[in-house]
Every structure is written in C-alpha cells, then in structure tokens.
Amino acid sequence: MSMSEKGIGLIELMVASSLALLLLAIVTRFYQQYQQTHRYQKSLATIQENGRTAIDILQYALKAAGYTGCARLEDPSELEITQYRNGQTTSSKPIPREYVRHFLSNTDAIVIRHMQTQNVDLTVSATARQKQIKVSDQSSFKEGDRIIISDCVHAQMNAVKETKTGQLYLKTPLLQDVLKSAEVGRLVEYVCYIADTGRKNTQGKPVYALYQLDLGRTRLPSEIVEGINSMKIVYDKNTIKITLGINSVEAPILQREWHTYVNLRNIP
C-alpha cells in the first residue's frame, strides 16, 4: 500500500488532538482575560459615573444653600448648613433623632436649607401683622409648610396654616410690609447621608448608598447613588470640601475619591 493510500495513524491523531487542545486552552485563557478586563473596565466606568452623579447632586444642592430670593433674612442662621459626624452635631438646629439613627457610622451627613427655586408671586401687597397673603398659585403649598417671602427689600419666614384658592393663611403675622410681586417659596430642608441599602453584593457584603431626605415633606428617603461608602465634609464660611469614598464590588482594587470645592451663597 502506497503512502498516499494510508489513513491517519494513532500517533498523528494524538498529536493533532493535543495541538487542538493546546490551542483551545490558549483561546480560552485569552477569552477569560478579556472578560476580566471588560468587567474591570465596566466596574471602573460605574465607579466614575456614580462619583460624577453624586458630586453633581451635591454641587447643585450646595450652590442653592442659603438662597432666599433677592433679599436676605435678618437671621441667616435659619438657613445654616448643618454637619453631622458620627451622628453628632453642634448645630443649634438639629434634626429629629429618628433620621439620624440611619446614618452610617464613621461618616458625615449634611443638612442643606434654602428657598425653593420654583416660587410663586404675591398678587397683592401685604402689610405688617397681616396673617393672610394672596398668591398666584397656592397648589404647591401644604399645611405646615415653612415658607420664605422675599420682595428684594426684606425676606422673612413664616409657616402655612391653611390654603385656599389663590391664598395662603399664615401661622404668625407678617413682620414687615411686603410688596406686590414678591417671591413666595417653600423652605426646602433636606439631609444627604450614607446608609446601608439592606442589599448584599456578590461577596455577601453590605451595599451602601447616598440618600437624600426632604425633612419637610416626606418620611421616606430617596436612594440617590449606590456604591458610596463614606462622606467627609470640611467647610468654613466661604468654601466647602466634600470627599466621597466610592467602592466597586466587582473590582475592589479600583477605589477612588472625588473632591469638589463649592462657593456658598448667602451664608455669612
């Protein structure tokens, strides 16, 4: 029988199989490395996106801190920024303990106060000691809301006792006369803090998140961004610095910190 008529021998078959298995192992290894790299890149992108989202939210809130329309309150401390560290504060305006108990230990929380930016106008001038004002739209106000009335001459605080069509009834008399077209807005008072989401990651560890709670309107906090496990706040009367710790479950070696400096308005 000629060589051309012979079939593949056992040795040739074993060599070919070994080469095929070796090639398959190499391809599999490259594919696993590609998958691992892809997971790390995806995780890094998630970290960066979470960091940007959290910073954007805090920047927006801090730029609005202390806003009272076109006039300032006589007592700006009403709108002070309150900092909590390990659930403690030296502020004269602490928030209820029922909220503080949810704060993650060994991290900071911050309470931000300002006049709501979407306001209504006073349709008729009002005089001092008056307890009722006429507004362009009362629908955004509820009983018990704390409000700021600002006419570019004075800004004063009050609270809503009752609402009727085009009118707000106040809990206390006006302190000064108020001009027509004055801004009337709700006092927004909310806290940003880190807390346990109650969820676990793939390693069985707790997942933390940045939360925001409107103290004047809701008892339920809103989860803003997950994967944030710490917040450190340092500020003086002009500048605030917030450092966020961002943790990635999928790529725990990729941990970053984001820094932001924000100038505050109307904070003395």
Note the pLDDT tens digit of each residue in 122-146. 999 999 999 999 999 999 999 999 9
Q: What is the mean pLDDT of residues 82-100?
A: 83
Q: What is the pLDDT of residue 80?
A: 80
Q: Please say whether the beta carbons of 235 and 83 come within 8 A.
A: yes
Q: What is the pLDDT of residue 167?
A: 95
Average pLDDT, the chain: 80
Q: Please say whether the beta carbons of 131 and 158 come within 8 A.
A: no
* The pair of three-digit structure tokens given for residue 261, joined into one six-digit string: 């400096």
Q: What is the pLDDT of residue 171?
A: 96
Q: What pTM was computed for the model? A: 0.72
Q: What is the pLDDT of residue 134?
A: 95
Q: What does the H/E/C string look like for the chain?
A: CCHHHCCCCHHHHHHHHHHHHHHHHHHHHHHHHHHHHHHHHHHHHHHHHHHHHHHHHHHHHHHHCCCECECCECCHHHHCCEEEECCECCCCCCCCHHHHCCCCCCCEEEEEEEECCCCEEECCCECCCCCEEEECCCCCCCCCCEEEEECCCCEEEEEEEEEECCEEEECCCCCCCECCCCEEEEEEEEEEEEEEEEEECCCCCEEEEEEEEECCCCCCCEEEEECEEEEEEEECCCEEEEEEEECCCCCCCCCEEEEEEEECCCCC
The bridge status of strand 206-214 relative to strand 222-226 is antiparallel
Top mean pLDDT of 55-69, 74-88, 100-114, 223-237 is at 100-114
Burial class (CB in 10 A: 0-12, 13-18, 19+), 15: exposed
Q: What is the pLDDT of residue 267?
A: 31
Which residues, in sequence order, are CB contacts of 242 under 8 Å at separation 6+?
Answer: 55, 58, 62, 110, 231, 232, 233, 259, 260, 262
Q: Where are the domains of the chain?
A: 43-114+188-263, 120-186
The bridge status of strand 82-85 relative to strand 155-164 is unpaired
Q: What is the pLDDT of residue 126?
A: 94
Q: What is the mean pLDDT of residues 102-115?
A: 89
Q: What is the pLDDT of residue 139?
A: 92
